[in-house]
């Protein structure tokens, strides 16, 4: 049965936890891009009408739904650097899961609906990011881009959340 308390958890999950998981995923892409010498990066949090921007971070009306990053040229570019950038988002989500579990195991934080939601959405994000597939908008998942890159195929698509390496 869906009650008032469940409605609170729904609001918390979709308007707080899911955006945090999305931002962590994008930070993973950006961290690896920075490591490989990318100096020009832009982050878009959400979709819809632009609300505001600060430096290279843009926040959109529906901040809780999706996010993306655009990357400029890399100083060190090859298929392995591109694959690490693409998998970086999922690695950061997995690292987040590990850290939360360690903090719970060491009794630094208590298990709660918030930690459950964080882990759940992190697993969800990793699964759909690494599943090699095309999304309805014509973009590819990180997994499909990694597969294409390792196979040496020229992929005309871009990853849904980590755009071009050459802009």
**Which residue would you say has higher pLDDT here, 112 or 4?**
112
Reported pTM: 0.91
Instruction: List pLDDT tens digits, range 37-96.
Output: 999 999 999 999 999 999 999 999 999 888 999 999 989 889 899 999 999 999 999 999
Compute φ and ψ for 105, nearest 5 degrees: -60, -40
Q: How confident is the model at residue 152 (pLDDT cuts 50, 70, 90)?
A: confident
- Residue 140: both structure tokens together: 């590819």
Sign of CA dihedral 125, 131, 94, 26: negative
Q: What is the pLDDT of residue 165?
A: 47
Dist CA 75 CA 89 (whole Å) = 20
Q: What is the pLDDT of residue 2?
A: 77
Mapped onto helix, strand or coil, the DSSP state of residue 38 is: coil
DSSP 128-156: HHHS--B-TTS-B-HHHHHHHHHTTPPP-
């Amino acid at each position: 049965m869906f009650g008032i308390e469940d409605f609170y958890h729904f609001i918390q999950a979709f308007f707080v936890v899911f955006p945090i998981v999305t931002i962590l995923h994008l930070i993973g892409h950006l961290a690896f891009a920075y490591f490989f010498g990318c100096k020009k990066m832009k982050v878009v949090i959400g979709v819809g009408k632009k609300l505001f921007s600060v430096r290279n971070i843009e926040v959109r009306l529906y901040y809780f739904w999706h996010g993306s990053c655009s990357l400029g040229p890399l100083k060190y570019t090859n298929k392995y650097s591109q694959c690490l950038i693409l998998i970086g988002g999922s690695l950061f989500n997995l690292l987040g899961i590990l850290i939360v579990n360690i903090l719970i195991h060491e009794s630094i934080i208590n298990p709660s609906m918030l930690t459950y939601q964080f882990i759940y959405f992190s697993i969800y994000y990793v699964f759909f990011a690494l599943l090699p597939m095309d999304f309805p908008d014509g973009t590819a998942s990180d997994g499909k881009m990694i597969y294409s890159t390792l196979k040496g195929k020229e992929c005309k698509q871009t990853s849904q959340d980590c755009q071009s390496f050459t802009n």
